[in-house]
Structures are given as C-alpha cells and as structure tokens.
Amino acid sequence: MTNVLLSLGSNTGNLRLNLEIAVVHLAAMDKSAVISKSSAFTTAPWGKTDQPDFLNMSVKLTTELTVVQLMQNILSIEKLMGREREEKWGPRLIDIDIILFGDEIVNLPDVTVPHPYMHERRFVLEPSVEIAGEMIHPVLNKSVVQLLKDCAEPVDVFQDK
C-alpha cells in the first residue's frame, strides 16, 4: 500500500459540498482507503486571480493502485462531478491533484509527482500539514512541515470556520 497526499479545491457552486462529494468518491475507489482529511481553507486564487476564492483541503489515502491508475480514477471523479476543463487555472467545480505518491518520482505526460508547485503553494501546504506533515518530498528531501516553513508565498490563507 502506498500513502498518497491529494489536494482538493473548488470555487464554483456549493464549495463545501463539492469537496465532501469528492471525498466520498475517493473513499469509494477500489484498492484504496481515505485515511484522513484536513480542515477546509478559504484561499485566494493562484495563477489566475480574477475569479472567486477557493475552498481547499487535503486528503491522505492509502492505495494499491499505480499512480497512473489513481490519476485515471481522479479524472473520472472530476468528470462525473461535472468538471469542464475550459481554461488553465480558471474557475472549477472540483480540482483533485496528486501531491505526493509515497516516495515515488513520476514524470509522465498526464501526471507529475511530486506536484511541481507544491512547495510554492501555501493553499496546498497549510491543509496538508494537518494530516501529512511527516510525509517527505522525495526530490527536495524535506517534510511537508518544513516545506510550509520555507514557503515564500504570503500568508493569505485562513481556515474556514
């Protein structure tokens, strides 16, 4: 079994419900189990800033799937939930990214792990520290806790109450 860290985000529709539905779908995947989920954090958009704020969270799961199989499942969940890929970094009903896949380093056309921007994105690191602070970035050889301490992105993340 491989421990996996996922980042989930939504900024259209019922944000909290979108995240909850995504977690239910993740928990229903074959050969996988959700171990824990973080609090939800409201964050400013990253990359393309002229859109509504996001609600973000992290999920830790364990799986027997390969990284490619997991990515196929994630894309199916996003499609099932109604995600339409119209604009890079644009508004989205649901976004599920593989952040870490055990200690694997993967560079394929459809999936790159560890996520290439995770260490720059406080909206990924803040919720991830809650549930997976001990996980190690296999390229940078730093824990998620240390990556958050080193993150240069301004502190504009706040926990949704």
Decide if 48 contacts 87 (C-beta within 8 A): yes
Query: What pLDDT score does 49 carry?
Result: 77
Q: How far apart are CA 48 and CA 115, in angstroms?
A: 18
Q: How far apart are CA 51 and CA 146, in angstroms?
A: 30
Query: What pLDDT score does 74 carry?
Result: 96
Decide if 57 contacts 19 (C-beta within 8 A): yes
Query: What pLDDT score does 97 carry?
Result: 95
115 alpha carbon, distance to own chain's centre: 9
Query: What pLDDT score does 15 carry?
Result: 96
Query: What pLDDT score does 90 carry?
Result: 64
From the list 124, 131, 157, the residue with the least C-alpha distance to 147 is 124
Query: 53: domain range?
Result: 2-159
| 83 flagged as catalytic | yes
Query: What pLDDT score does 51 carry?
Result: 85
Query: What pLDDT score does 161 carry?
Result: 44
Residue ranges of the chain with per-residue pLDDT less than 70: 85-90, 154-161
| 156 flagged as catalytic | no
| 95 flagged as catalytic | yes
25 alpha carbon, distance to own chain's centre: 14
Overall domain count for the chain: 1
| 85 flagged as catalytic | no
Query: What pLDDT score does 152 carry?
Result: 82
Catalytic annotation, pick one of 53, 83, 150, 160: 83
* CATH number of the domain bearing residue 112: 3.30.70.560
- The H-assigned helical ranges of 8-81 are 15-27, 67-80
**R_g of the chain computed on alpha carbons:** 14
